[in-house]
Amino acid sequence: MLTHVRAAVAPRRAPPSLPPQPVEPDAALLDSLGAIDDEEHILVLGGNGPDLMCALLRAGAPQVTHLRPFERPESESASLVIVPRVPSLDWLAIRLPWIRRALVANGRLAIRIDALPTMVTQVRRMLALHGFAAFLARDATGCQVLCAEVPAFGLRRCA
């Protein structure tokens, strides 16, 4: 005769969780740009351009163009130029005249560089020699985002 009856209860399973969404690779760069919906035309130069273009469009940018590192931008064609990765200081020294020529008056430039103090100083010096002003540096994960602008008639967008 049975004196005890045990009921087998299946263990409860937690509902399958969604895999965590990967962090956008250029999230720190996008955060340092501030409001981009008022920019007329954004130019991404080199780096992982298609991914950054999509992120900019999702953030509200009206028009974004990506150029490969060796392509030369048109004169006064952008209000914001983004360089997501600077391969070397020599590369930047060659491209800075092109970038300066591509920006409109009060146009902005955002560059992501290594966080080495000597590199930051050299890039600031290069930018100043090419007429950029209103420098703003922000720390990102393992790098630094340096923003500058082309002053128009002595007016600056940010200090």
Does 4 fall in a domain?
Answer: no
Model confidence at 3: pLDDT above 70: no
**pLDDT given at position 34:** 80
Backbone angles phi and psi of 136, in degrees to 5: -145, 120
How far from chain centre, in Å, is Cα 96?
Answer: 17
Specify whether the CB–CB gap between 45 and 99 falls below 8 A. Answer: yes
Whether 17 is covered by a domain: the verdict is no
- Kindly tell me if the per-residue pLDDT of 44 is higher than 90: yes
Give pLDDT tens digits for 58-69: 888 889 999 988
CA–CA separation, 44 and 149 (whole Å):
16
Nearest of 149, 147, 145 to residue 29 by alpha carbon: 145
**Residues pairing with 136 in the sheet:** 147
Q: Report the alpha-carbon distance of residue 91 to residue 37 in Å, rounded.
A: 29
Report whether 101 contacts 78 (CB < 8 A): no
* pLDDT for the residue 22: 44
Give the domain extent around 74.
27-149
CATH value at residue 39: 3.40.50.150
- Residue 8 falls within a domain, yes or no? no
Q: What is the distance between the alpha carbons of residues 38 and 104, in angstroms, rounded to a whole number?
A: 14
Q: What is the DSSP letter of 62?
A: S
pLDDT tens figures, 7-29:
555 556 655 555 544 455 567 77
Note whether residue 82 is domain-resident: yes
pTM: 0.78
pLDDT of residue 110: 93
Q: Give the number of domains in the chain.
A: 1
Q: In this structure, is residue 156 part of a structural domain?
A: no
Non-local CB neighbours of 22 within 8 Å, separated by 6+ positions: none
Residue 3 within a domain: no
Residue from 108, 121, 110 nearest 151 by CA:
108
**90-137 per-position pLDDT tens digit:** 999 999 999 999 999 899 999 999 888 889 899 999 999 999 998 888
